[in-house]
A = this chain, B = another copy of it.
Amino acid sequence: MNSLISISNANKITNPNGDIFKLLSTKDTGFNGFGEAYISLIDYGAVKAWKRHNKMTMNLLVPFGNVAFVFMDLKRNFETLIIGDSNFKRLTVPPGIWFGFKGISNQQNVVINIANFVHDDFEVDRAKVNEFDYDWDKL
């Protein structure tokens, strides 16, 4: 599977009063306009799946905790990427890809999505967690 997801470095700057985490700027690779930003918490061991955005490009970061994202291509091949405390990266996810995610740290797992499109149900497809043949328990 050729990855459809681009992975960019994200930057943490140490500060004695509290660190700075750069999330996204218009100068970054993968920036594709701004529509909306939101946080999605994902409890330890919980899964949110499946969803497909048909218009939205997502830029996903996990500043706290660790989260496994699973993406499915048109041939139903899966790609799993883990980002978070231990691997602070930004994932750029173009429209048209089924995805889900699981909280894998026993703490607060925080996903930030900076999207180029305001949430609108008309552009979202949803499927049940067992709709596709992916074993979430192995994560």
Contact = CB atoms under 8 A, between A and B. Distances in A.
Interface of A: 15, 17-27, 34-43, 46-48, 63-64, 103, 108-110, 112, 114, 118-119
A25 B103 contact: no
Contacts of A22: 36, 38
Chain A interface mostly: strand
Given A37-B24, A39-B23, A63-B39, A47 B17 contact: yes
A94 to B, nearest CB: 19
Contact of A18 (B18, B48, B112): B48
A26 B37 contact: no
Contacts of A39: 20-21, 23, 63
